[in-house]
Amino acid sequence: MAKKTTLDIKKMVENRLGDEQWRYIYDREKEELRIEGKESQKGMSVSLNSAVAKYEADGEAAFEELIYYVKEALSAMHSETVFLEEQIRPVIRATSFPTEKEEGNPFVTSEHTAETRIYYAIDSEKTYQLIDEKLLIKSGYTVEQIHSIALFNLRKLPIQVKEDIVADNTFYFVRTNDGYDASRVLSSSFLKEIQSKVEGELLIGIPHGDVLILADIRNNIGYDIMAQMNMSFFASGKVPITSLSFAYENEKLMPIFILGKQKKR
């Protein structure tokens, strides 16, 4: 497979999407391609460096995935959004994630931890759209109502858990692949269920949006394994959140730092 450059990916994206509806703005310094509607001027930016790296790793499949997400995102921006209560979901993101959809139009969020923040999404069959303040006002809901509805809908989602034992430590992985795996950390009933099984210390990892790790740590090796596991998932995730682990105490998440069999709160 021939290697691709950022300019190759840029041209491939432009050829696939066409120029009838979209305008392309290339930032050579940042190696980003902004795609926006010619009339609306609404759009998004694509990191060409990241696209090249993923193409080298996964070939055409990576490019097709990029095109899919770009089309879905642009479609969501350029369609009239109407939603029902059952479509509202909570979404966990890093605190470094953008807080505004556009200037003067913040996303609706709630505090979670020092590392993470709760956003809210309107779920559709293929993708979801984050709820912003303009959409909130249009819906007639309050932030508190959106939060309650989102958590209620989260509890109705099935949870698939895979269990693995490494060096006498038990790890539980939530990978349902529905876009809300990390969000399961907001399900207090699920966390209590896992906690009831734990014999050591319960640690929780939220490395990226499509996985949640819960660990019953029973020895020092377990802390190292958890740290390495979180970092590996964090580095490979499409939507990285945090490589830190959390202790779960009194129904609260407390970030901890694990350094060579030592942990620091």
- 3-state SS string for the chain: CCCCCHHHHHHHHHHHHCCCCEEEEEECCCCEEEEEECCCCCEEEEEHHHHHHHHHHHCHHHHHHHHHHHHHHHHHHCCCCCCCHHHEEEEEEECCCCCEEECCEEECEEECCCCEEEEEEEECCCCEEECEHHHHHHHCCCHHHHHHHHHHHHHHCCCCEEEEEECCEEEEEECCCCCCCHHHHHCHHHHHHHHCCCCCEEEEEEEECCEEEEEEECCHHHHHHHHHHHHHHHHHCCCECCCCEEEEECCEEEEEEEECCEEEC
Instruction: Assess whether pLDDT exceeds 90 at residue 147.
Output: yes
Whole-angstrom distance, CA of residue 181 vs CA of residue 169 = 22
Q: Which of 9-18, 20-29, 156-165, 248-257 has the lowest mean pLDDT?
A: 248-257
Instruction: Assess whether pLDDT exceeds 90 at residue 80.
Output: no
Comparison of pLDDT for 48 and 80, the residue scoring more:
48
Position 257 scores a pLDDT of 78
Q: What is the pLDDT of residues 95-136, one digit of tens each?
A: 999 998 877 889 999 999 999 999 999 987 667 889 999 889
Instruction: Assess whether pLDDT exceeds 80 at residue 214.
Output: yes
Position 208 scores a pLDDT of 94
The answer to whether 176 and 158 have CB atoms below 8 angstroms apart is yes
Q: What is the pLDDT of residues 238-254, one digit of tens each?
A: 889 999 999 998 888 99
Beta partners for residue 166, in sequence order: 169
**In the predicted model, what is the mean pLDDT of residues 199-228?**
95
Instruction: Assess whether pLDDT exceeds 80 at residue 81.
Output: no
Comparison of pLDDT for 60 and 217, the residue scoring more:
217
Q: Give pTM, 2 decimals.
A: 0.69
Position 1 scores a pLDDT of 53
Percent of the chain with pLDDT over 90: 61
Residue ranges of the domains in the chain?
6-77, 85-156, 161-264
Whole-angstrom distance, CA of residue 4 vs CA of residue 220 = 44
Instruction: Assess whether pLDDT exceeds 70 at residue 261.
Output: no
Whole-angstrom distance, CA of residue 217 vs CA of residue 1 = 43
Position 265 scores a pLDDT of 47
Highest mean pLDDT among 37-41, 75-79, 100-104, 138-142: 138-142
Q: Which residues contact 58 (CB under 8 A, 6 or more apart)?
A: 65
Position 109 scores a pLDDT of 97
Beta partners for residue 105, in sequence order: 102
